Protein backbone atom coordinates (compact mmCIF):
# COMPACT_ATOMS: atom_id res chain seq x y z
CA UNK A 1 0.00 0.00 0.00
CA UNK A 2 1.30 3.43 -0.87
CA UNK A 3 1.88 5.70 2.11
CA UNK A 4 1.11 9.39 1.70
CA UNK A 5 2.69 12.14 3.76
CA UNK A 6 1.82 15.74 2.98
CA UNK A 7 4.37 18.27 4.18
CA UNK A 8 3.31 21.87 4.64
CA UNK A 9 5.92 23.76 2.67
CA UNK A 10 6.63 27.47 2.81
CA UNK A 11 9.26 28.59 0.29
CA UNK A 12 11.37 31.70 0.87
CA UNK A 13 12.02 33.80 -2.21
CA UNK A 14 15.68 34.08 -2.97
CA UNK A 15 16.74 30.83 -1.28
CA UNK A 16 20.21 29.60 -2.18
CA UNK A 17 20.06 28.14 -5.70
CA UNK A 18 22.11 25.25 -6.99
CA UNK A 19 22.97 27.09 -10.17
CA UNK A 20 23.11 30.76 -10.93
CA UNK A 21 23.33 33.63 -8.51
CA UNK A 22 21.42 32.73 -5.36
CA UNK A 23 21.00 34.89 -2.29
CA UNK A 24 20.31 34.05 1.32
CA UNK A 25 16.62 34.17 2.17
CA UNK A 26 15.43 36.80 4.64
CA UNK A 27 15.66 35.58 8.23
CA UNK A 28 12.02 36.35 8.95
CA UNK A 29 10.87 34.08 6.14
CA UNK A 30 13.18 31.30 7.21
CA UNK A 31 11.71 31.41 10.72
CA UNK A 32 8.24 31.01 9.23
CA UNK A 33 9.21 27.88 7.30
CA UNK A 34 7.38 24.74 8.25
CA UNK A 35 9.24 22.19 10.32
CA UNK A 36 9.13 18.69 8.91
CA UNK A 37 8.73 15.69 11.18
CA UNK A 38 11.04 12.64 11.03
CA UNK A 39 9.93 9.89 8.66
CA UNK A 40 10.51 6.15 8.67
CA UNK A 41 11.54 4.70 5.31
CA UNK A 42 9.40 1.66 4.43
CA UNK A 43 10.78 -1.61 3.16
CA UNK A 44 10.20 -2.25 -0.52
CA UNK A 45 8.09 -5.19 -1.64
CA UNK A 46 10.87 -5.98 -4.09
CA UNK A 47 9.71 -3.81 -7.00
CA UNK A 48 12.92 -2.64 -8.70
CA UNK A 49 13.75 0.97 -9.59
CA UNK A 50 15.60 1.77 -12.80
CA UNK A 51 17.39 5.06 -12.16
CA UNK A 52 16.49 6.60 -15.51
CA UNK A 53 14.34 9.50 -14.27
CA UNK A 54 11.24 8.16 -16.03
CA UNK A 55 9.17 6.95 -13.02
CA UNK A 56 7.74 3.87 -14.66
CA UNK A 57 4.16 3.12 -13.50
CA UNK A 58 4.21 0.96 -10.35
CA UNK A 59 7.91 1.55 -9.73
CA UNK A 60 7.34 3.61 -6.57
CA UNK A 61 3.97 2.26 -5.39
CA UNK A 62 5.64 0.53 -2.42
CA UNK A 63 7.44 3.67 -1.25
CA UNK A 64 6.74 6.57 1.08
CA UNK A 65 5.32 9.53 -0.81
CA UNK A 66 5.95 13.13 0.36
CA UNK A 67 4.55 16.20 -1.39
CA UNK A 68 7.43 18.68 -1.02
CA UNK A 69 6.25 21.45 -3.37
CA UNK A 70 3.67 22.25 -6.02
CA UNK A 71 4.11 19.55 -8.61
CA UNK A 72 7.08 17.95 -6.83
CA UNK A 73 6.90 14.65 -4.94
CA UNK A 74 9.62 12.79 -3.07
CA UNK A 75 9.58 8.99 -2.83
CA UNK A 76 11.56 6.88 -0.35
CA UNK A 77 12.01 3.13 0.11
CA UNK A 78 14.59 0.53 1.13
CA UNK A 79 15.21 -2.58 -0.94
CA UNK A 80 15.74 -5.96 0.79
CA UNK A 81 19.25 -6.76 2.02
CA UNK A 82 19.94 -9.56 -0.41
CA UNK A 83 23.29 -11.36 -0.39
CA UNK A 84 25.42 -10.66 2.72
CA UNK A 85 28.45 -8.42 2.21
CA UNK A 86 31.41 -9.32 4.45
CA UNK A 87 32.13 -6.59 6.97
CA UNK A 88 28.98 -4.61 6.15
CA UNK A 89 26.27 -4.28 8.78
CA UNK A 90 23.77 -2.59 6.45
CA UNK A 91 23.35 -4.27 3.07
CA UNK A 92 20.15 -2.71 1.78
CA UNK A 93 19.81 -0.20 -1.04
CA UNK A 94 17.99 3.07 -0.35
CA UNK A 95 15.98 4.54 -3.22
CA UNK A 96 15.11 8.25 -3.39
CA UNK A 97 12.91 9.68 -6.11
CA UNK A 98 12.10 13.34 -6.76
CA UNK A 99 9.38 13.59 -9.37
CA UNK A 100 8.91 17.05 -10.87
CA UNK A 101 12.50 18.31 -10.48
CA UNK A 102 14.34 17.86 -13.76
CA UNK A 103 17.41 20.08 -13.46
CA UNK A 104 20.74 19.94 -11.60
CA UNK A 105 20.47 18.92 -7.95
CA UNK A 106 22.42 18.20 -4.78
CA UNK A 107 21.22 15.52 -2.37
CA UNK A 108 23.07 15.88 0.93
CA UNK A 109 23.11 13.07 3.48
CA UNK A 110 24.78 12.78 6.88
CA UNK A 111 24.76 10.62 9.99
CA UNK A 112 23.79 12.47 13.16
CA UNK A 113 26.72 14.76 13.98
CA UNK A 114 28.84 13.39 11.15
CA UNK A 115 30.37 14.70 7.92
CA UNK A 116 28.06 15.54 5.05
CA UNK A 117 27.97 13.51 1.85
CA UNK A 118 27.06 15.63 -1.16
CA UNK A 119 25.67 13.69 -4.13
CA UNK A 120 25.55 15.90 -7.20
CA UNK A 121 23.41 15.40 -10.31
CA UNK A 122 23.70 17.41 -13.53
CA UNK A 123 25.10 16.40 -16.94
CA UNK A 124 27.54 14.37 -14.85
CA UNK A 125 27.31 12.74 -11.44
CA UNK A 126 29.75 13.45 -8.65
CA UNK A 127 30.28 13.24 -4.92
CA UNK A 128 32.27 14.82 -2.14
CA UNK A 129 32.45 14.29 1.63
CA UNK A 130 32.22 17.71 3.24
CA UNK A 131 33.53 18.10 6.83
CA UNK A 132 31.48 20.14 9.29
CA UNK A 133 34.37 22.60 9.65
CA UNK A 134 37.36 23.62 7.54
CA UNK A 135 37.90 23.67 3.81
CA UNK A 136 36.32 20.73 2.06
CA UNK A 137 37.64 18.91 -1.00
CA UNK A 138 36.42 19.73 -4.50
CA UNK A 139 33.48 17.91 -6.00
CA UNK A 140 34.70 14.90 -8.01
CA UNK A 141 32.63 14.57 -11.15
CA UNK A 142 32.31 11.01 -12.40
CA UNK A 143 32.96 9.62 -8.90
CA UNK A 144 29.95 7.57 -7.75
CA UNK A 145 31.02 4.84 -5.34
CA UNK A 146 28.09 2.83 -3.94
CA UNK A 147 25.40 5.06 -5.46
CA UNK A 148 23.98 6.09 -8.79
CA UNK A 149 21.32 8.46 -10.11
CA UNK A 150 19.55 9.61 -13.26
CA UNK A 151 21.94 12.16 -14.73
CA UNK A 152 20.86 14.72 -17.29
CA UNK A 153 21.60 13.60 -20.84
CA UNK A 154 21.63 15.41 -24.17
CA UNK A 155 21.97 14.62 -27.85
CA UNK A 156 25.64 15.60 -28.11
CA UNK A 157 25.76 15.68 -31.91
CA UNK A 158 22.72 17.94 -32.13
CA UNK A 159 24.06 20.10 -29.27
CA UNK A 160 27.41 20.72 -30.98
CA UNK A 161 25.63 21.40 -34.25
CA UNK A 162 23.48 24.11 -32.69
CA UNK A 163 26.53 25.76 -31.15
CA UNK A 164 28.20 25.90 -34.57
CA UNK A 165 25.05 27.55 -35.91
CA UNK A 166 25.52 30.33 -33.38
CA UNK A 167 22.83 29.29 -30.91
CA UNK A 168 23.53 30.06 -27.25
CA UNK A 169 24.62 27.21 -25.00
CA UNK A 170 21.47 27.62 -22.91
CA UNK A 171 19.20 27.40 -25.95
CA UNK A 172 21.14 24.40 -27.30
CA UNK A 173 20.87 22.59 -23.95
CA UNK A 174 17.15 23.21 -23.72
CA UNK A 175 16.60 21.93 -27.25
CA UNK A 176 18.77 18.80 -27.04
CA UNK A 177 18.36 17.53 -23.46
CA UNK A 178 16.41 14.28 -23.28
CA UNK A 179 13.17 14.65 -21.29
CA UNK A 180 12.99 13.45 -17.68
CA UNK A 181 10.14 13.25 -15.20
CA UNK A 182 12.46 13.76 -12.24
CA UNK A 183 15.48 12.41 -10.36
CA UNK A 184 16.02 8.85 -9.12
CA UNK A 185 18.80 7.82 -6.73
CA UNK A 186 19.99 4.38 -5.61
CA UNK A 187 22.29 4.50 -2.56
CA UNK A 188 23.81 1.58 -0.71
CA UNK A 189 22.70 1.63 2.91
CA UNK A 190 26.27 1.45 4.26
CA UNK A 191 27.21 4.60 2.33
CA UNK A 192 26.07 6.64 5.33
CA UNK A 193 26.63 4.98 8.74
CA UNK A 194 24.05 4.75 11.49
CA UNK A 195 20.35 4.02 11.79
CA UNK A 196 19.34 7.64 11.21
CA UNK A 197 20.15 9.75 8.15
CA UNK A 198 19.81 13.52 7.88
CA UNK A 199 18.79 14.73 4.41
CA UNK A 200 18.73 18.06 2.54
CA UNK A 201 17.72 18.46 -1.11
CA UNK A 202 18.47 21.35 -3.44
CA UNK A 203 16.88 20.82 -6.83
CA UNK A 204 16.22 22.92 -9.91
CA UNK A 205 14.12 22.55 -13.02
CA UNK A 206 10.90 23.14 -11.05
CA UNK A 207 8.62 25.43 -13.07
CA UNK A 208 6.15 26.14 -10.26
CA UNK A 209 8.80 27.37 -7.81
CA UNK A 210 10.95 29.83 -9.75
CA UNK A 211 13.04 26.91 -10.94
CA UNK A 212 14.59 25.87 -7.62
CA UNK A 213 13.51 24.35 -4.31
CA UNK A 214 15.23 23.63 -1.02
CA UNK A 215 13.81 20.81 1.08
CA UNK A 216 13.19 20.88 3.97
CA UNK A 217 12.24 24.54 3.45
CA UNK A 218 13.43 25.44 6.97
CA UNK A 219 16.97 24.21 6.35
CA UNK A 220 19.43 27.11 6.59
CA UNK A 221 21.83 28.08 3.78
CA UNK A 222 24.57 25.49 3.56
CA UNK A 223 28.20 25.78 2.43
CA UNK A 224 28.74 22.94 -0.03
CA UNK A 225 32.48 23.55 -0.17
CA UNK A 226 34.74 24.18 -3.15
CA UNK A 227 32.94 24.60 -6.43
CA UNK A 228 29.63 25.48 -4.75
CA UNK A 229 27.58 28.57 -5.66
CA UNK A 230 29.28 31.66 -4.23
CA UNK A 231 26.15 32.68 -2.32
CA UNK A 232 26.49 29.65 -0.06
CA UNK A 233 30.19 30.04 0.70
CA UNK A 234 30.89 30.79 4.33
CA UNK A 235 27.48 29.62 5.53
CA UNK A 236 27.48 27.28 8.51
CA UNK A 237 27.68 23.58 7.77
CA UNK A 238 24.97 22.11 9.93
CA UNK A 239 22.22 19.53 9.59
CA UNK A 240 19.83 21.62 11.71
CA UNK A 241 16.46 21.73 10.01
CA UNK A 242 17.18 18.76 7.75
CA UNK A 243 14.76 15.88 7.21
CA UNK A 244 15.43 13.00 9.59
CA UNK A 245 15.17 9.59 7.92
CA UNK A 246 14.71 6.59 10.19
CA UNK A 247 15.20 2.94 9.28
CA UNK A 248 13.16 0.13 10.77
> 117-154 pLDDT, tens per residue?
999 999 899 999 988 777 777 888 888 999 999 988 88
- Does the pLDDT at position 69 exceed 80? yes
Average pLDDT over residues 71-97: 80
Angular region, 62: left φ>0, alpha ψ -120 to 50, beta rest: alpha
Per the CB < 8 A criterion, the answer to whether 54 and 178 are in contact is no
How far apart (Å, rounded) are the C-alpha atoms in residues 67 and 187? Answer: 21
- Does the pLDDT at position 183 exceed 90? yes
| pLDDT recorded at residue 207 | 65
Binned at pLDDT 50, 70 and 90, residue 53 comes out as very high
Binned at pLDDT 50, 70 and 90, residue 219 comes out as confident
Binned at pLDDT 50, 70 and 90, residue 30 comes out as very low
Q: Is the bond into 216 cis (omega within 30 degrees of 0)?
A: yes
Spatial CA neighbour of 76 closest among 127, 40, 27: 40
Task: Calculate the average pLDDT of the chain.
Answer: 79
Residue 179 or residue 116, greater confidence: 116
DSSP codes joined into one string, 130-151:
E-SSSPPPPPEET--TTEEE--
How far apart (Å, rounded) are the C-alpha atoms in residues 164 and 1? Answer: 52
What burial letters (b/e) apply to 197-206, b meaning 16+ CB within 10 Å?
bbbbbbbbbb
Q: Compute CA 52 distance to the chain's CA centroid, rounded to the nearest angstrom.
A: 15
Per the CB < 8 A criterion, the answer to whether 177 and 153 are in contact is yes
Residues 6+ apart with CB under 8 A from 113: none
- Does the pLDDT at position 230 exceed 80? no
The whole model's pTM is what?
0.77
β-partners of residue 129 are 117
Amino acid sequence: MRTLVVAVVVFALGAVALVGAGQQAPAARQEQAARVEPVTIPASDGTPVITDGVFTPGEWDDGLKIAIADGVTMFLKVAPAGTPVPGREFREVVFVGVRGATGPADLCLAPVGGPILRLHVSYALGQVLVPLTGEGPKLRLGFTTDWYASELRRDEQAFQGMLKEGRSERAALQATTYPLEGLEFAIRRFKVPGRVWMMRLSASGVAANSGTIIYPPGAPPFDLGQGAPSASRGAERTTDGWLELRFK
